[in-house]
Structure 1
Amino acid sequence: TNVLYHYVARGRSFAGGPAGLLLELTREVAGANDRNAIERTVCERLVDVDRYRAAWVGEPALDRDGLVVRASAGGEDAPPNAGGTTTDSQITFGNGPWTGALRTGDLQVVDADDPAVAEWPGRDRGRGSVAAVPLGRGATVHGVLAVHAPEADAFCEFERTGFEALGRTVGVTVDARNSRELVHADGVVELSARLSDHASVLVRASDAHDCTISLAGHVATGDRWLLYCDVEGADPGAVAETAAGDPDVERCRGVFDRRDGYRLELAGVDSSLLDRTAAVGASLQSAVVDRGTCRTVFEVPKTADVREIVAELRSTFPNLEVHSHRDRDRPPEGPTVPDGAFEGMTDRQRDVLETAYRAGYFEWPRETTAEELADGLDIAGATLQGHLRKAQKHLLSGLFE
């Protein structure tokens, strides 16, 4: 291909060049657990090769006015490292490529003489190229990796693809670490909060029909969400029609009637609330939307900095009001956290099993077909059946063995 020709023409082998390094880093990150170690290793390994002059990882400061540098490498060419805290040096980088990467979730590449990177610290600013890599996937971006290469037009298509994969892997690894901390915490802090003026499909539908919509369950599907909701106080068909026409929803359908309401399935939902909750290491246990106002319950591990998590949530949702909090000395409970009989089951098996249950797949007669279930989860039918069989075998083994 033209990309391969470009790469070879510039004297770089796939195995030993930047692409090989990025592949190695992606594999290392996928098996790591400690976020600080991951970020430090990525920066140090990148500047160990002549290809890159400096690298640093930053995350938004709590006031959202700048970035806090969590890890850096490259000596004077890199910004000072704040050690992963928000109390040391804070850097305001204006509207540089890092800001665009955080906002859009897309990799950004500019020339180093671009005015947007004028505040890059170090003696070599103004020469070469700068890449800003979002660390996450979709709307869930934990931070940004900034890389400075001394060459102009340094980041070819191979490298961009490699950096994108590395950024997604770091994001997935951080998400998994947050989930493990929540699942295995000895206790949790339960936060009851109220959210007003929140633009979401559930708020818009509730406000339009003057009704109450309760979130009964949610499952991540790629960079979007699959939601199950109960409707009270309005014609469910009308609510479903409104939700189906919402720009943040790919499709909506009624699943089955319930004695106290009606259950809707919303697929391909773009939810900033669920994205942000997952990004800060919390779990949304319940959400009830009543005529434009959302009442929520979050859980965070006791070991987490609760004030910082609340500040992170408020940075995205400034109208969030926390009404109460209480400690619970037992593992988290709820629709999105494995526990008890589910211990040892993979997250994906649990997600598929929960989705099948909430969609009425195990009812007789079935309210949802396997094809509809697989379509909602955006997976192949054979993959769905494999997850379901393994999950059911796991549960039955706990009962009979």
Structure 2
Amino acid sequence: MRSITPSRTRANTYMALGLIPLSGFAMDVYIPSLPDMATQLHTTPAAIQLTLSLFIISYGISQLIVGGLLDSYGRYWPTMISMLAFSAASFAIAFAQDINVIYAMRIVQGFTVAVIVVAKRSFFVDVYKGEELKKYTSLFSVIWAIGPIVAPFLGGFFQTTWGWSSNFIFLGLFSLAFFLIEVLIGGESQKQASPFSVRTILGTYGKMVKTPDFTAGMIILGLAYAMILLYGMASPFLIESRLHLNPHVTGYCALFSGVSVMVGGTVSRMLIAKPFVKKLIVASIIQLATVAVLITLTTFYQNLPTLLLYVFLVHSTGGFIFNNLMSYCLIRFPQYAGKAAGLVGGGFSVVTSILSSLLVNFLSITNQTVLGIGYGVLVVGVLFTIIRTKWIVNERPAISENAERSPATAAA
């Protein structure tokens, strides 16, 4: 099998960074089309919103499985096959007339995106070490935010120009383009494969889950991302149905949401040397204060600026928290790169999908005040988990192949 040569490391690094936003594109590009899809397919908004939930659940659960497979069978060929399968599923959705076909293909998309994204996250742990690895992992949420920034903006244009199907044609072509680039310059990044054993994989997952700070990190990632998804699921109906604005505006607002997340991630990189726990608590308290003020404000007055205030203040602080915790969790177990990347991604995605679906259905988000209540539930969960967890500040590996966890200083 062709391995990545030193001369191609930089090119493959850029390609890996380019594929990290794929999950965001697959999730967000058709958000401006949700109301039109409900009309064209003669179904309810809740039935269309389920396409988002199915993708995220499939994406999350699949990451729990594919991490071990990628550690045993490599990164290259599973990625290549998954890119082709993702393209095929995207084209199938574009021409589907039955919502059940779309449900099935969204599950396929979730699985294939999981393979691609986990493989590309693992690439960085395979190739880079120490501070250089930290530099790249701290970039992940910044790069990932490109999806929520660009995708709905493009989706609004596609919707008003060609209709909802064009979003999925775009996804199919996007994946095919990266497949061709992978054929030309890609290769295997893994140095040594580990034998495939379900018992060993489950044992490793068990050890990681039993590490309290790692599990707390996954939960907080899920809560933080649920804030963004909660907005994404509710925004087309808040903007287009309640405020009577067009899909272009939904796309612009989603772009603003992505920029807010990117701002938070960028600030996180700037403050990378600051005390870990203190900066998380400060960000979470800012979120809580923001939500309290805006719930009060929107009880009396609701328009597009009040919605964008929610988006910027909650999503930028959420991006800050997400970036810190994603970097923390990914480098917690460097000897299990694929499994750790899969467990982190899968764990937080499952938490996100369950919480966001419950909140959307239980609260019935028909106005901004109720959206704020949903945010508030998630923010309280984040702050409580941060305070209750004993964090390992030097981020040394929690598990060694030959020894128990090394003692480390806990953050106060």
Q: What TM bracket, shorter-length normalisation?
A: under 0.3
Question: How high is the TM-score relative to the length of structure 2?
Answer: 0.25
Higher Rg of the two aligned structures: 1
Question: Whose helix fraction is larger, Structure 1's or Structure 2's?
Answer: 2
Question: How high is the TM-score relative to the length of structure 1?
Answer: 0.26
Question: Whose strand fraction is larger, Structure 1's or Structure 2's?
Answer: 1
Larger RCO of the pair (alpha carbons < 8 Å, separation 6+): 2
